Amino acid sequence: MKKVFAVLGLALAGLTTQVSATTTGLISQEQAKQIAFTHAGVTATDVIFEDIKLEFDDGKFEYDFEFTVGATEYDYEINATTGDIIDIDYEIDNSMYRMLVNLGLYTTTPVAKPDTAVTTPVTTTPAVTTPATTTPAVTAPQTTTDTTYLTKDQAKAIAFAHAGVNASNVRDLEIEFDNDDGRRIYEIEWEVGNTEYECDIDAVTGNILKFEVDRD
C-alpha cells in the first residue's frame, strides 16, 4: 500500500512539474487585463468588479476575464500565450442602469464601447448593401406621435460599423424587432467568415446594448 501511495505521489509531482513548465512564457494576469481594458476603452479605475482566471481549453491556455464598468458587464477570453482576444461578450445590466440613473450617475443611456464609439444615426437611411443571403422577415417598427424608431437598415448600419465589417461580406443575417423590458430593440445576428456576431441596439437612440463576437 505504501508503494502505491509513493507511486501516486511521484505521478502527481510529475504532473505539477509538467503544468508549471507548460505555463512558462504565458502573459501575466495584469497584461491580460490591460489588453481587455485597452480594447474596451476603459481604465482600471473605472472598474467596480472584476474576476480573472487561467483556464486550459481546446489545447491552449486562456484567461477568462469578467469585469463591470457602470452598468456594463464585460467578458473577455484572451489567449494566454499570444495575448490575442478570442471572444468578447458585453451587455448592459438594465437593473444596474436604472439604479445608477436614480442615483444621478447616468443622465443618458450608457453605451458599451469595446471598439469605436457609435455615431447616432441621422434621419436618412444609410446606404447599406443587402447581403446575398435572404433576410428573415422583420416586424415593421411602430411609429407613434411620441416615438420614432430606427429603420431596419439604420440598425444594420450601426451594427456593421461597430463590428468593423462590410455588409457585402455578411451572411446568415437575422434581424428581430423586439420588446426588452419595456424598451424597443433590434436583435441582430450575422456571420462573416468563421466569426459569429450578435448585437442588440436600442431602436430609439441607436445605442448598442449588447455585443458578442464568437470566433470558431
Model confidence over 142-171: pLDDT tens digits? 444 467 899 999 999 999 998 889 999 999
Instruction: State the DSSP H helix or E strand holding residue 65, giving kind and residue range, or none if neither.
Output: strand 60-69
Q: Is the pLDDT of residue 206 over 60?
A: yes
Are 1-114 and 115-216 in the same CATH fold?
yes
Distance CA 32, CA 38 (A): 10
User: How confident is the model over 19-76, as pLDDT tens digits?
Assistant: 443 557 899 999 999 999 998 889 999 898 899 999 998 889 999 999 998 888 899 9
- DSSP, collapsed to helix, strand or coil, labels residue 6 as helix
- Say how many C-beta atoms besides its own lie within 10 A of residue 32's C-beta: 24
Predicted TM-score (pTM) of this structure? 0.54
Longest dimension (CA), the chain: 83
Residue 123 in this model has a pLDDT that exceeds 70: no
Domain extents in the chain: 1-114, 115-216
211's grid cell? 455585443
Q: Please state the φ and ψ torsions of residue 187, each to the nearest 5 degrees.
A: -105, 115
Report the share of the chain in percent with pLDDT over 90.
Answer: 40
CATH of 1-114, one of 3.10.450.40, 3.30.2180.10, 3.20.20.140, 2.160.20.10: 3.10.450.40
Name the CATH topology of 115-216.
Answer: Nuclear Transport Factor 2; Chain: A, (3.10.450)
Average pLDDT over residues 73-97: 86
Give residues with Cβ within 8 angstroms of 2, minimum separation 6. none
**% of the chain at pLDDT higher than 70:** 64
pLDDT at 120 over 50: no
CA gap 51, 64 in Å, rounded: 8
